[in-house]
Every structure is written in C-alpha cells, then in structure tokens.
Amino acid sequence: MYAIRLTTNPRLFVFSTLRNYSNNVRIISNSFSTKIPTSHEPLPESHRGRVPTNIWEKTNTNLHTKPNHPLNILRKTIESHIQNTDESCMFNMNTSLSPIVTSEHCFDDLLVPSDHISRNASDTYYIDDNTLLRTHMTAHDPYLLRSGMKAALSTGDVYRRDTVDRTHYPIFHQMDAFKLYQTNSLIKSKTRHQIENDLKNVLVDLAHTLFGQGAKFRWVNTYFPFTTPSFELEILWNNDEWLEVLGCGLLHNEVLEKSGLNSDEVQGWAFGLGLERLAMILFNIPDIRLFWCTDERFVKQFNDNFHLKDMKFKPFSAFPPIEKHLSFWVNGQFHENDFCQTARAVGGDLIEHVEVIDRFQRNGQESLCFNVVFRSLHRSLTHVEVNEIYESLRQQVATNLPVTLR
Ligand code: PHE
C-alpha cells in the first residue's frame, strides 16, 4: 500500500453513533488486559511499550478536533460534503478511534503481505510484537464493517517512521471512508461498475468543492492490497504539476469476507486521504511542522467560520537555518529512518530537514554523512543551542544505533 503513500507528500483515507462505537473499539487489542482508551482519553504511559516518548506525547493532541485548527476545518468540510452526497445513507463519522491497533487489524485483515515493507519496525511504531500505532486509518475498516456499519468516515492521527523534511512528519492525519451496496451474484458485475462510478463521482465532486469547479484532475490506476480495482486521484496544481490527493477502490472480496460479509450480497467502495497534504496545498502552508505550532501568528490565521477559499497562510518571517553534518560507519542493521527518528527525538521541531549527502563503501563497510538542517519556525536559533543539540544527537546516535562516529 505504501508503494504510494497517501500522506503529506508525493511518495504515499453522522453523527455520533460513533461515540458508542469507540467504546467497542476498546476491546480490539487482545494484548492488553486493560481497556484501550479512545484517543480523546489520554493514552496511559503504561501502554507506551517501545514507542519513543516524543511520539507518545503527541498521541493525545487530536489536531483534527481542535477548534479553528486547519485540519479540523478541512475534516468538517469533507465530512459534510460526503454526508451530503447521499441523503439516504447515513455515514458514521468517527473522530475518536484509538490509534492503538493490532497488526491483525492494520495489516492481516487488509491482506497486506507478510513481507510488506510497511510491517517493518523501521517503518512502523510497534508497542509490542503484535500491537502498534496505526499506520493508516483503513486499519479500522474491517472492524467497523464487522460491527455492522454500512457507511463510515473515520478521521485520526496515523504514525509512520519516516524521513524528516518540510512535508514529512512522523504523525499525520488521514480520513478513510467506505460505503456498502446490496447486490446479488447475477447483477454483481454491473453493480461493481456502478459502484466504481459512484465512488468516482463522489470524489470528483469533493475535489471540486475543495479546489474549485475549474480544477483539472485525472484518475491513475494503482495498487492497494485491500481494494481492486484501485485508483488515485491527481489534481493539476498551478497548471504544471499533477499532485496525488487520494487513493481509493472497490473493497476486495476477501476483505469483505474476512469482515464477516458475504461478497455475493455486499460490495463496496473505500477511499483514504491525507489531511496535511491537502491542507498544505489548499492553505499554502509551506512546512508540515506548522500544524503543531501554537504560535499565535499561525493559529490566528485560521477560523472555523472563515470560508475555505479565504484562508491562505501568510508566512511570518523566515528565520535562518543552521546546518550540521554527522558522519559514521555503519556496523550492523541500520535504517535511515532510525537516524531520522533519533534526530526528531533529540531536536524536536527545531529540525527542519535530514538528508544523506554522502555515502561510500570502504573495505566492505558503508560510510554515511547526514546533513541536519536546524531552523525554528518562530525565532532565530543561536549557534550555542544548536551545538548543544548536535552534541547530544551525536551521543544518542553513537549509543543507540549500530554505527561508529567518524
Ligand atoms: N490506506 C491507504 C494509505 O494509507 C489509502 C486507501 C484507503 C486506499 C482506502 C484505498 C482505500 O495509503
């Protein structure tokens, strides 16, 4: 699925029956004897397992439900659009599903192959061997289907170990939807065609609502383990760049069956989109860290009552970056994401960008040099404070990663 990540960048988805539903969700993980709280309740430290503190601390933030936050504004716009597409079908709107899921829900139930990269500990925040912070909102769909829902739209924070730059952050937000249709084996192929059309119409309408009636878009065939056929919707941006904005498809028969449905009687569509990516495009937000900043100069620019089109972010002054290089020999199993994670843990949001700038082999050993760009969104950094962070990053890297500093 993450051959194409529907996240924030080009590399890669009414009303509260769901509050009750999220109570049910508490029992989805069997590796805890205690109940798993909804994301609106603080996740207790005792559940943190192997997740780094700097990530765990953010599990209770819920940016997608914060009044006047751009992600919340976008979520509500999309929710009401989807609900209005079909008055006879009530979508269950979920905003408080716990981000703790089992690998069964996140991967197995969705037919993600056992050797798929998204399952690796270098890509995913595992709590223990079988429990993790969800890597996509689709993780909830089989459970929601099993609980009898016919249509749902779920929004939440998802977690991926990733590179560090202006469009990647280890936590981002997705909206995932599905809708079921009654069918029977005789008319199944016809119905599947109609369902595909319905899906595409809903999403093209959504794209028009968000990007304006004149927006140009195209469908691209793609692959997700849990949908077939699968598509991406791309929008022509600034007349010169095709941007992928969402992934979708018809739910795989086996996913339906695994969710307790008879695929001869029921078919359905699903889609998923990354909210930060959309919000960055729509509101001209240049750096993904801004969503987390509480600086008034950012916060004040967004309001639940403003019209979507009237919200264009006006950058406050850009502060100068400070760059540092860090080189080491790799001794064992090392993944670049491990370095990025360490940098985020030590430098937090003061780190704007991390990149390998030099790589060579000598006597069978690999040497890497990372460039780490420090830049605050709010103020000028001093060399003294950056040097301090840099020294503790060197120390952490030397202690916790299988490398020898050069
Ligand atoms: N879960 C997919 C992702 O994160 C997106 C998706 C959702 C695609 C539903 C198809 C259907 O990349």
Q: Concatenate the DSSP letters of all residues of 261-289 into one string.
A: --TTTEEEEEEEEEHHHHHHHHHT---GG
pTM comes to 0.87
pLDDT along the chain (406 residues), means of 10: 37 22 26 41 86 93 96 96 92 95 96 94 95 97 96 97 93 98 77 94 95 93 96 90 94 97 95 96 94 93 90 90 97 93 96 96 95 95 97 97 96
Residues 6 or more apart from 131 whose CB is under 8 A from it? 29, 31, 32, 49, 100, 101, 102, 103
Contact criterion met (CB below 8 Å) for 94 and 79 = no
Of 224, 62, 225, whose CA–CA distance to 158 is shortest? Answer: 62
Q: Cα-flanking dihedrals φ and ψ of residue 294, to 5°? A: -105, 10
CA distances from 301 to 64, 69, 233 (A): 16, 9, 29
Q: What is the DSSP letter of 165?
A: B
Tell me the DSSP string of 304-363: TTS-GGG----PPPPPPPEEEEEEEEE-SS--HHHHHHHHHHHHGGGEEEEEEEEEEEET
Mutual angle of helices 336-347 and 383-400, in 10-degree steps: 140
Distance in Å, CA 176 to ligand 1 centroid: 7
Best residue among 13, 82, 222 to mutate for probing ligand 1's pocket (most ligand atoms within 8 Å of CB) is 13
Q: Which residue is closest in CA terms to ligand 1's atom 2?
A: 272
pLDDT of residue 87: 87
Rounded CA separation 153/93 (Å):
5
Pocket test for ligand 1, best of 9, 135, 136 (most atoms within 8 A of CB): 136
pLDDT of residue 38: 52
C-alpha 371 to ligand 1 mean position (Å): 32
Between the CA of 116 and the centroid of ligand 1 the distance, in Å, is 15
